């Protein structure tokens, strides 16, 4: 059916479905407003924003008709449907499958806007359970990819989180190749992860190589990233720019929130050679469990949901070894902290 036909049908349905509108077009009901002023954008926006909150039996018909009329009035302005999308998401569980598809179709072009994507992607995915729409509509910049990674974590889509994590690594390496000849030290060091892992070694080796011909002014760079780069290079034979200072072993867990891990904790363990066991237990979360990554000497040895526990076993050579635990989804969508605890190790 053509758009004009849809609009006519929707308007007729409202008019026929609500007898009092035919008798008294001056009525203050939303249906009457549609019939009286079908080109009044403000009136349509008000209906879209509030009609589903009412108890009227015709509320869904009125809401749909207002959406069709707004689409007719603003065919080339996706954000004209903002109130339709907001009310649809607020009443998501009450909507029919067809209404849900229409809300998703309306929000998808909005998500291509970088600022809107940053604000709304996680909320859309959480309410609708549809991660494919934000993958498809994301604006393609670095911030959007990081947002996708965080959204996958927040919604418990851990396979997709791991895929996004590797995609970010590949993107950073490709970005380095594009800029390495023209970038200054500040731009190159900005690509260094604050907590590098052995999977980042190709990127870090390339950054080190590019930096050897660049002047480095410490007052203009992120010294935390430079220190992380030199520390990683020292520990993994990558010829650092400056040999990192040898730090004494940290034999107790550091970085804890009280007695729990709220984001990252680390310690050094001494092994005579053999199997090291670490057991993590969930302390606080919502329906999405905490997700932990466990690194030993910067190598990812285990990862997974702590639901309700995660046990890690790793064979160690003789000597000290750095153990890092990263809680990579530290907060729920309501900003409640997720917490995990080291039960053994």
Mean pLDDT (the chain) is 89
pLDDT digits (tens, 9 = 90+) for 161-191: 999 999 999 999 999 999 999 999 999 999 9
CATH architecture for residues 264-344: Sandwich (2.60)
Please check the confidence at residue 296 and state whether its pLDDT lies above 60. Answer: yes
The DSSP secondary structure of 310-332, one letter per residue, reads: EEEEEEE-SEEEEEEEEESS-B-
Q: What is the mean pLDDT of residues 257-275?
A: 96
**205 neighbors 238 (Cβ within 8 angstroms):** yes
pLDDT digits (tens, 9 = 90+) for 114-142: 999 999 999 999 999 999 999 999 998 98
The DSSP secondary structure of 70-125, one letter per residue, reads: HHHH-TT-GGGGHHHHHHHHHTGGGS-HHHHHHHHHHHHHHHTSHHHHHHHHHHHH
Which residues, at least 6 apart from 213, have a Cβ–Cβ distance to it below 8 Å? none
How many whole angstroms separate alpha carbon 81 and alpha carbon 70?
7
Q: What region, left, alpha or beta, does residue 335 occupy, with left being phi > 0 and alpha being psi -120 to 50 degrees?
A: left
Q: Reduced to 3 states, what is the DSSP secondary structure of residue 246? A: coil
Lowest mean pLDDT among 16-30, 98-112, 152-166, 219-233: 16-30
Q: What are phi and psi of 327, to 5 degrees?
A: -90, 100
Please check the confidence at residue 24 and state whether its pLDDT lies above 80. Answer: no
Q: Which helix (H) or strand (E) holds 299?
A: strand 299-305
Domain coordinates of the chain in residue numbers?
A: 3-111, 159-235, 264-344
Residue 16 confidence (pLDDT):
32
Residue 28 confidence (pLDDT):
52
Cα–Cα–Cα angle for 56, 62, 67, rounded to 5 degrees: 145
Residue 2 confidence (pLDDT):
38
Please check the confidence at residue 9 and state whether its pLDDT lies above 50. Answer: no
Closest CA to 280 of 300, 302, 297: 302
Cα–Cα–Cα angle for 164, 170, 171, rounded to 5 degrees: 85
Of residues 7 and 53, more confidence is placed in 53
Please check the confidence at residue 302 and state whether its pLDDT lies above 90. Answer: yes
- Sorting pLDDT into bands at 50, 70 and 90, what band is 33? low
Q: How many CA atoms lie within 13 A of 128 on its CB side?
A: 27
Of residues 201 and 333, more confidence is placed in 201
Please check the confidence at residue 14 and state whether its pLDDT lies above 60. Answer: no
Please check the confidence at residue 234 and state whether its pLDDT lies above 90. Answer: yes
pLDDT digits (tens, 9 = 90+) for 196-208: 999 999 999 999 9
Q: What is the mean pLDDT of residues 214-236?
A: 94
According to DSSP, the residues that pair with 85 across neighbouring strands are none
pTM (2 d.p.): 0.80
Which residues, at least 6 apart from 253, have a Cβ–Cβ distance to it below 8 Å? 261, 265, 266, 267, 342
Residue 23 confidence (pLDDT):
35
Please check the confidence at residue 155 and state whether its pLDDT lies above 70. Answer: yes
């Amino acid at each position: 059916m053509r758009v004009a036909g849809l609009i006519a049908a929707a308007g007729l349905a409202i008019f026929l479905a609500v007898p009092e509108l035919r008798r008294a077009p001056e009525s203050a009901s939303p249906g009457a407003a549609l019939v009286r002023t079908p080109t009044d954008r403000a009136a349509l926006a008000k209906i879209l924003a509030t009609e589903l909150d009412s108890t009227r039996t015709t509320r869904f018909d009125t809401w749909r008709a207002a959406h069709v009329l707004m689409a007719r009035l603003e065919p080339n302005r996706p954000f004209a449907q903002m109130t339709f999308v907001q009310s649809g998401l607020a009443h998501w569980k009450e909507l029919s499958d067809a209404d849900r598809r229409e809300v998703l179709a309306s929000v998808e072009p909005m998500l291509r806007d970088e600022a809107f994507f940053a604000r709304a992607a996680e909320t859309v995915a959480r309410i609708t359970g549809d991660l494919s729409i934000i993958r498809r509509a994301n604006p393609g910049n670095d911030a959007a990819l990081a947002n996708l990674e965080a959204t996958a974590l927040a919604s418990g889509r851990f396979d997709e989180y791991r895929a996004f994590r590797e995609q970010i690594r590949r993107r950073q390496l490709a970005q380095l190749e594009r800029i390495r000849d023209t970038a200054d030290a500040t731009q190159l060091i900005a690509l260094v992860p604050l907590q590098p892992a052995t999977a980042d070694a190709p990127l870090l080796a390339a950054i080190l190589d590019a930096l050897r011909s660049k002047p480095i002014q410490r007052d203009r760079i992120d010294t935390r990233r430079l220190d992380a780069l030199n520390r990683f290079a020292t520990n993994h034979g990558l010829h650092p720019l400056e040999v990192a200072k040898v730090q004494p072993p940290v034999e107790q867990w550091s970085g804890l929130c009280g007695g729990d891990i709220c984001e990252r904790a680390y310690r050094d363990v001494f092994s005579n050679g053999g199997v090291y066991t670490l057991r993590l237990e969930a302390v606080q979360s919502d329906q999405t469990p905490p997700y932990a990554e466990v690194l030993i000497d910067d190598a990812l040895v285990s990862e997974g949901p702590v639901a309700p526990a995660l046990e890690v076993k790793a064979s160690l050579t003789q000597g000290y070894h750095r153990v890092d635990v990263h809680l990579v989804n530290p907060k729920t969508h309501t900003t409640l902290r997720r917490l995990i605890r080291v039960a053994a190790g």
